[in-house]
Structure 1
Amino acid sequence: MLKRKIYTELQNWKTARHKEQLKKCLLLKGARQVGKSFIVKEFGAREYASFINIDFFKNKQLKQIFEGELSSVEICKRMTANIPNIKLIPGNTLIFLDEIQCCGNARTALKFLAEDLRFDVIASGSLLGLSYGQDADSEVEEPSSLPVGYETQLTMYSLDFEEFLWAYGYDSKTLYALKEYMGSSSQIPESIHNRYKELFREFMVVGGMPEVVMDFAQNKDFNRVMEIQQNIVALYQDDISKHAKGKEKQYVRMCYDAIPRQLAKELKKFQYSTVEKGQTSRKFSGSIQWLKDSCLVNACYNVSEPYLPLMANEKPAQFKLYINDTGLLTCMYGFETKKAILNNTIKGNAKGGIYENIISECLIKRGYNLHYYKPDDDHELEFLIEKDGAVIPIEVKAGNTASVSLNNFIKDFSPPVAYKLIANRNGISGVKEILPHYFVMFL
């Protein structure tokens, strides 16, 4: 089993539910193929005496459990009538409602199940970020009412770089020894730096999708990586065809396919004209929202000024889009691009776009919202994050070129720390800390 950080969050939810009498079910969201169902099944098997798995997509007849009165007592009664040999052990049972978008009554019933502290309930499903009005799938059922206040929502992503290293056999002790170089004037030994730099390039190519990582950890075959990733990209494209409504099917697909081209050009904001010549947000803004809600992309907004809260200073019309998993992005570029990344021979604007994508992905997985700062046509900071009560700038360089934009930001806004992520080893100059790209896992 792959070690996942979200497992600890599941344990924390269980602890709060039992010790603090938390009357909330857990709703696990995230893109397809990131391991939602797998992690819940592992959690149920390890942490509970009884685990009940109800998959509404595979077993449509089980929807009748949620027909009629939706009290917890009646639901549990119908569970025992429809699922042979289950055990409802008070205080030690997890009920997993998988593909819950296929049973609207089950989503409504989360309120009543949350109030019954005898049993714990986790729900998950595909494309739960979409509002029901956006979904054209005939099997998706709209709940009569949403259980507002009775859900703890968690978003799950593909593996981050630290989890990727765990799959390689690296332990936390080894990684925390590396972290000691943050804020230090001591340089990372070159042999150690070269090894982690190589691993980070592999992460850019393999990505964090669990199926891909598990297969690569076992077979070390980049051709197999490419094949599995192509299947996942095709699945995402099928989701667009199945779930987007009407003409949005075509528009969402056009926007999704345009993102790799835009990143390769290192555009300063998403340009609708690269999706279709002469078009504006009027035609495609709904498609962009669909992609964001489905967790297929990560959005990064320009801000008018770099002050807290950054979301209050967003320029809604100026944003960039990044693919949710950089391994999938490099798959979309093709095998030759993967090879160039691994051999460190990739050049041109595409190189910068790929490095921006991997840093954006890592920041999202660290829990940050994405913003950038472009005060004029000549200067840009790739990312701003909110950390420890301050706005922290992050400059990303595929190589190690000059830091004009970052230096200007430090001069104008005096941040407590500023990060420059580069291909080379670490260093410190005033509040500016220069770190290798792979140190993003510690930010």
Structure 2
Amino acid sequence: MKRNAEIYLKNWLYKSHRKPLVLRGARQVGKTWSVRHLAKSENMKLIELNFEKDLIIKEIFTSNNPHEYISLLEMHLSCTINIENSLLFLDEVQAFPQILAKLRWFYEEMPELALIATGSLLDFTLEDHTFSMPVGRISYYYLEPFSFNEFLSVTGNEILRDFLDTINLTQISQGEAIKPLIHKKLLSLFKIYTIVGGMPEALSTWIDTHSFTEISIIQQDLLATYRDDFSKYSARSQKETLDIVMRSLPRMIGHKIKYSNISKEIRGDVIKRALNLLCTAKICHKIHTTSADGLPLDASSNPNKFKMIFLDSGLVSAALGLQLNLEMQKTNIELSNKGAIAEQVVGQLLRTTEPYYIEPSLHYWAREKKGSEAEVDYLVQSGSTLLPIEVKAGSTGSMKSLHLLMAQKGLKIAVRLNSDLPSLVDVNFKINPNDRAEYSLLSLPIYMTEQVKRLTG
């Protein structure tokens, strides 16, 4: 189950000025496995501490002296710790958040020791901490579910992944990028990825069994695990609201969130808090609307107007109760939800293209003018350029909103993701007597979502 994170973690491990690393991400995305695999692959002794399972461990970290920590750990664990060849792994640190403040002492007094901290609900700790975080003395890494590129690697399709990485704009403009036979195979693999999703346990089960029944069991178990976690970060009275909101989100993908559409019986402020809690747990992610006036996108975003995607497309399929064996027979990835699955999977893949050290964020553009509404699915930063992205589940679809945005903002390149072969064309479209959209439209098959920034940056 090789991951892109493996390359970064190895680079981090051998940095000359390495800082303690805080690994962040939703529960069950593979954080613990990644750390264990790093230690094994680099022949390091793994010192794994779990603050939920071994409560007495907290007593070791009462001082601000890392040398004392190591001495006490050697006695507690009955082992010798060579700090130059050991990896100290602090897991489930949300059970003892004060340990995060002490990472500065490791950085300042024991830089030879590799240290990684993580936890299944770590982001709640980081959001509400009352202690002083060691700013400038720790690094962050954000781990997402498996991407499609990673899926290709772990399913024995590394050649196809390498092939996609070499496609260039010249090949696309000349119509020579992908042969129809290979395109058909990639679409089929992408459909499987969309249904199975990128959660490690579900993906591993698919590799072992190729059984959609087994996949469904794993996905339902994961959803139940997230619901079981509600009591860990919310009051008992809010647990029911969290469950209602979580069950509602999969059918609302692709639509602006209105609290009344989630529940007419629950107050808007209560639903808002529940949504924010689910986002903090990284079970779902907001896509904020932006006016697209420039970069950074957050500067012109509206926090009160947003759409949502779920953590993972496979979990969306499970939450919607889709019969996966029947969905595989459909002609494109529209599935049963009118394109929402396509918008979901593109959003989660765009998150994987963000730099590892920046928390991913998503944006879209909307004009809410009565009788003339318009919306473009995603806006991303590609290099120093603002890049609009339209998602079409099939090979066709209206482009009026995209034309309007390009004309209003004077942008020169846009991307359309669909199920067709790649192409690059010049668009010259008259919006009205005074406005005309003139830009380059790069159409890419949806399985090339992770190539968007490389081809446009």
Q: TM-score, normalised by structure 1?
A: 0.90
Q: Residue 64 of structure 1: which of 59, 63, 74 is its match?
A: 59
Cα distance in 1 between the residues matched to 2:393 and 2:408: 25
Cα distance in 2 between the residues matched to 1:180 and 1:109: 45
Letter in 1 for 2:282: C
Cα distance in 2 between the residues matched to 1:178 and 1:104: 42
1:349 Cα deviation after fit: 7.6
**Hey, what does 1:7 align to over in structure 2?**
6
Percent sequence identity is 27
1:182 Cα deviation after fit: 4.4
**Hey, what does 2:77 align to over in structure 1?**
83
Q: Residue 174 of structure 1: which of 160, 183, 194 is its match?
A: 160
Residue 44, structure 1, aligned to residue 31, structure 2:
no
**Hey, what does 2:423 align to over in structure 1?**
427
**Hey, what does 1:373 align to over in structure 2?**
365
**Hey, what does 1:308 align to over in structure 2?**
295
1:341 Cα deviation after fit: 4.7
Tell me, yes or no, if the aligned pair for 1:331 and 1:338 is still in contact at 8 Å. Answer: no
Cα separation, partners in 2 of 1:90 and 1:130, compared to 1, 3 Å? closer
1:147 aligns to what SS in structure 2? coil
Letter in 1 for 2:47: I
Q: Residue 184 of structure 2: which of 194, 198, 215 is its match?
A: 194
Tell me, yes or no, if the aligned pair for 1:205 and 1:338 is still in contact at 8 Å. Answer: no
Tell me, yes or no, if the aligned pair for 2:97 and 2:125 is still in contact at 8 Å. Answer: no
Q: Residue 355 of structure 1: which of 342, 348, 369 is its match?
A: 342
Cα distance in 2 between the residues matched to 1:14 and 1:132: 23
1:316 Cα deviation after fit: 1.1
1:362 Cα deviation after fit: 0.4
Cα separation, partners in 2 of 1:103 and 1:319, compared to 1, 3 Å? same
After superposition, the C-alpha distances for 1:14-59 in whole angstroms (9 at most, x for unaligned) are 222xx1x24x210111111111111101111222432211112222
Alignment of 1:88-103 (within 5 A): 88-103=81-96
Tell me, yes or no, if the aligned pair for 1:226 and 1:335 is still in contact at 8 Å. Answer: no
Letter in 1 for 2:331: N
Residue 235, structure 1, aligned to residue 225, structure 2:
yes
Residue 224, structure 1, aligned to residue 208, structure 2:
no
After superposition, the C-alpha distances for 1:158-213 in whole angstroms (9 at most, x for unaligned) are 10000011111122x53232344442222421111111111111011100111111
Q: Residue 401 of structure 1: which of 377, 397, 400 is its match?
A: 397
CA-atom RMSD, angstroms?
A: 2.1
Cα separation, partners in 2 of 1:416 and 1:280, compared to 1, 3 Å? farther
Tell me, yes or no, if the aligned pair for 2:379 and 2:388 is still in contact at 8 Å. Answer: yes
Residue 208, structure 1, aligned to residue 198, structure 2:
yes
Q: TM-score, normalised by structure 2?
A: 0.87
Tell me, yes or no, if the aligned pair for 1:326 and 1:358 is still in contact at 8 Å. Answer: yes
Tell me, yes or no, if the aligned pair for 1:251 and 1:284 is still in contact at 8 Å. Answer: yes
1:169 aligns to what SS in structure 2? coil
Q: Residue 35 of structure 1: which of 27, 30, 35 is its match?
A: 30
Cα separation, partners in 2 of 1:94 and 1:342, compared to 1, 3 Å? farther
After superposition, the C-alpha distances for 1:230-253 in whole angstroms (9 at most, x for unaligned) are 100000011113322343322222
**Hey, what does 1:139 align to over in structure 2?**
none
2:14 aligns to what SS in structure 1? helix
Q: Residue 276 of structure 1: which of 263, 266, 273 is its match?
A: 263
Cα distance in 1 between the residues matched to 2:383 and 2:334: 36
Tell me, yes or no, if the aligned pair for 2:84 and 2:112 is still in contact at 8 Å. Answer: yes
Letter in 2 for 1:378: E
1:324 Cα deviation after fit: 0.7
Residue 436, structure 1, aligned to residue 412, structure 2:
no
Cα separation, partners in 2 of 1:338 and 1:155, compared to 1, 3 Å? farther
Tell me, yes or no, if the aligned pair for 2:88 and 2:115 is still in contact at 8 Å. Answer: yes
Letter in 2 for 1:225: I
Cα distance in 1 between the residues matched to 2:213 and 2:325: 10
1:128 Cα deviation after fit: 1.0
* Structure 1: gaps (5+ residues): 135-141
Stretch of structure 1 that moved more, 31-40 or 396-405? 396-405
Letter in 1 for 2:41: R
Tell me, yes or no, if the aligned pair for 1:427 and 1:434 is still in contact at 8 Å. Answer: yes
1:313 Cα deviation after fit: 0.6
Residue 385, structure 1, aligned to residue 380, structure 2:
yes
